[in-house]
Amino acid sequence: MHGFRTDLAMEAFDGAQDARPCGVDVHRWEEGGVTLTEVVVTTDDAARALGKPAGRYLTMESPLLKKRDPDVRNAMATLLSEELSRLLPAWDGRSCALVIGLGNRQITPDALGPAVIDRTLVTRHLSDHLFPLSDMRPVSAIAPGVLGVTGIETMDVVESLVKLVRPCAVICVDSLAARDSARIGATLQLTDTGIQPGAGVGNHRRALTRQSVGAPVIAIGMPTVIHAATLARDALECLGKQAGDVDLSDAEHGLPGTALGEMIVTPREIDALIQDAAGIIAAGINRALQPELTDAEIAAMMD
């Protein structure tokens, strides 16, 4: 990786079989026009080698997502719902699920989490008072903001909420950084390892994991940015191939520590990509948390 970072487990190593660290299992398949890649990190040594916690990472990607293909959008939401349902603990008829939308509403590529919260069906208040015999799962949702805006660490907010709500599971949604610019707005990652707020923009905060909050933490994210140094590295590699035997490795290795290495880049259509992604992720979450409701019923309750 030459110091160039990514939040996607599938990009954390060379895809070749002999390049994978021992303790990493990879499976790929296609369904409904969506390519799925499952990366399972089974050992601590493999986790250290990849820089990713041990656990399961599932990515779903399709270039047609950027073209707003309705069939692919629905397939992505359906697959996300099915995979999320497998990770959620069995509902006991009472326990609540807590959905956390990480990020800053005022910065478009970082606004994915709050945008998903705006479209999440919240039912905890309804289940407790209006529909005590309903099959709806109690759901709470919040976008806690960022430290620079609220003056409060995200983990402090989440820990307080977990103590109050006592959820059976915490679902976190956040923007991610990719290694390949083609995956921005075209890929979702689902993992049972939790999440580190601010990781996508290099602003690392305390991690949200089962160990830190006392409940299973499922993380969902979409790449919305790429580091400028990564793009520059790709350009250098392209120039190197065109120039033949020219060695550009010294320039390549010098990029991450420069001002260029600290910059992040996002597509000009990021506002549309965020809204599209928010709709897909929210649909997947709502379907997984409320399997007894149809999409029409969920939409009606959101009005």
State the DSSP string of 122-177: --HHHHHHT-TT--PPPEEEE----HHHHSS-HHHHHHHHHHHH--SEEEEEEEEE
Q: Tell me what pLDDT residue 147 has.
A: 85
Strand 139-142 relative to strand 97-101, pairing: parallel
Convert the pLDDT of each residue in 198-227 to its tens digit.
554 455 567 888 888 888 999 999 999 998
Predicted confidence band at 127 (pLDDT cuts at 50, 70, 90)?
low
Q: Does the predicted model carry a pTM greater than 0.85?
A: yes
The residue with tokens 């409940």 is 215
Indicate the burial class of 100 (C-beta count within 10 angstroms; 0-12, 13-18, 19 or more). Answer: buried
pLDDT higher than threshold 80 for residue 196: no
The band of 128, judged by pLDDT with boundaries at 50, 70 and 90, is low
For 92-302, which CATH superfamily applies? HybD-like (3.40.50.1450)
**Domain locations in the chain?**
92-302
Lowest mean pLDDT among 7-21, 61-75, 233-247: 233-247
User: Residue 176: what residue type?
Assistant: L
The per-residue pLDDT of the chain, averaged, comes to 85
- Tokens of residue 187, six digits: 């890929």
Per-residue model confidence as pLDDT tens digits over 175-192: 999 988 899 999 999 999
Instruction: Check if the beta carbon of residue 228 is closer than 8 Å to that of residue 261.
Output: yes
The dihedral region occupied by 55, where left means phi > 0, alpha psi between -120 and 50, and beta the remainder, is left
What distance separates the 2 farthest-apart alpha carbons in the chain?
72
